[in-house]
Homo-oligomer: A and B are copies of this chain.
Amino acid sequence: MGEFELIRRFFDRPVRRSPLGVGDDCALLAPQPGMQLAVSSDMLVEGRHFLSTVDPRRLGHKALAVNLSDLAACGARPLAFSLSLALPHADPHWLAPFAEGLFALAEAHDCELVGGDTTRGPLCIAITVYGEVPAGQALLRSGARAGDDLWVSGTLGDARLALEIFRGRAQATAEVFVAARARMEQPEPRVSLGQALRGVATSAIDVSDGLLGDLAHVLDRSGVGASVDAPSAAGLLAAARAGYTAPAPQILELVLAGGDDYELAFTAPPAARQSVEEAGARTGTPVTRIGRVEAEPGLRVLDANGGLVPRSFAGFDHFA
């Protein structure tokens, strides 16, 4: 199977919305008048972002999911994506389920493949997603203000728990492991919630490298600090709700520094609490208030009595 047959067989699907899709030198996108185009790129490398044993269907899903999660964090509506793929060999038994997982998620979000590149090389998946957002309404990292509440969607830490179980550093029941593994391998980007938070949230980011590390980017760009309530945060590990037990500091570390969560962390003024709850309810997304933005720089984790919880964990850094 040659390069062009590979593309034709697995990746060339007609476009419904874009003026031009796969098969020319460029694809063409036509955002609606008044819209800005939001673009984001994420690259996944074997052994770094996924294990070589991963189900290709789940990998196809995840490769797009982590990109859609960036659109979600900006409040953008997905339009299309490009896929650049380096493959050690053209194996239909891998490509078919990979494409199936990829397109299932793409169709669920009405996000069409418009182009990309295919080459031989160590397995590497580079996706760029395109979305649209009304001009001036994108959720940015720079909008958090002292006094805002700090919120997160869904649950946190379960993907990292699955990784720790794979590494033999944690143990759990089969039920807990299966659920945590699904979180690691098939994250659900919070696309609807992101759009529902336009005009409500003051800032947003998607949690990919660990909540505290990602939050630090928001605080840095917004010129503020924040405190996180440890008891609220500790309740966010789904596995703990399902019976997984570990010392409290380990649970907290999974939640605050786990990474690979693809939930949204966002800020909103206290006056918007009801709007945030409604946005969550309307999109079927749990939302939890876990702290507040403060004028004092830095990021503090506080126990139930308002005392500082010592912490040593940091966000994920590919080169640290």
Binding site for B on A (CB under 8 A): 1-4, 6, 19-20, 23-31, 33, 36-43, 45-49, 70-71, 73-74, 76, 82-87, 89-90, 114-122, 124, 126, 128, 130-131, 133, 135, 138, 140-142, 204-206, 221, 317-320
- Tell which of B89, B119, B206 touches A48, judged by Cβ atoms closer than 8 Å: B119
Q: Are A36 and B29 in contact (CB under 8 A)?
A: yes
User: Considering the chains assembled together, what is the distance between the CA atoms of A37 and B39 in angstroms?
Assistant: 12
Q: Are A41 and B3 in contact (CB under 8 A)?
A: no
- Tell which of B28, B41, B47, B71 touches A126, judged by Cβ atoms closer than 8 Å: B41
Q: Find chain B residues with CB under 8 A from A138 CB.
A: 20, 26, 28
Q: Find chain B residues with CB under 8 A from A25 CB.
A: 40, 70-71, 73-74, 141, 204-206
Q: Can you show 29 pairs from A to B with CB atoms below 8 A apart?
A: A3-B320, A6-B319, A19-B135, A20-B140, A23-B141, A24-B141, A25-B71, A26-B76, A26-B131, A27-B39, A27-B40, A30-B37, A30-B135, A37-B130, A39-B115, A41-B117, A41-B128, A43-B85, A43-B119, A43-B126, A45-B119, A45-B121, A48-B86, A49-B119, A82-B128, A119-B318, A120-B318, A124-B124, A128-B128
Q: Find chain B residues with CB under 8 A from A74 CB.
A: 24-26, 28
Kindly report how many copies of this chain are found in the complex they form together.
Answer: 2
Nearest to A138 among chain B residues (CB) is B28
Q: Find chain B residues with CB under 8 A from A70 CB.
A: 25-26
Interface centre among A42, A71, A121, by most chain B C-beta atoms within 10 angstroms, is: A121
Q: Find chain B residues with CB under 8 A from A37 CB.
A: 28-31, 37, 130
Q: Apart from A43-B124, A45-B120, what are 11 other A-B pairs with CB-CB below 8 Å?
A: A2-B319, A6-B319, A23-B141, A26-B38, A26-B73, A27-B38, A28-B37, A28-B39, A39-B115, A43-B126, A48-B86
CB distance from A54 to the nearest CB of B (A): 16
Q: Find chain B residues with CB under 8 A from A84 CB.
A: 41-43, 126, 128
Q: Find chain B residues with CB under 8 A from A140 CB.
A: 20, 24
Q: Find chain B residues with CB under 8 A from A38 CB.
A: 26-28
Q: Find chain B residues with CB under 8 A from A89 CB.
A: 319
User: Considering the chains assembled together, what is the distance between the CA atoms of A118 and B317 in angstroms?
Assistant: 10
CB distance from A192 to the nearest CB of B (A): 16
Q: Find chain B residues with CB under 8 A from A28 CB.
A: 36-39, 74, 133, 138
Known: A120-B319, A121-B122, A319-B2. A40 touches B26 (CB 8 A): yes
User: Considering the chains assembled together, what is the distance between the CA atoms of A33 and B281 in angstroms?
Assistant: 36
Known: A26-B131, A121-B45, A205-B25. A115 touches B40 (CB 8 A): yes
User: Considering the chains assembled together, what is the distance between the CA atoms of A317 and B120 in angstroms?
Assistant: 10
- Tell which of B29, B49, B73, B319 touches A3, judged by Cβ atoms closer than 8 Å: B319
Q: Find chain B residues with CB under 8 A from A318 CB.
A: 3, 118-120
Q: Find chain B residues with CB under 8 A from A87 CB.
A: 319
CB distance from A62 to the nearest CB of B (A): 14
- Tell which of B29, B45, B86, B142 touches A43, judged by Cβ atoms closer than 8 Å: B86
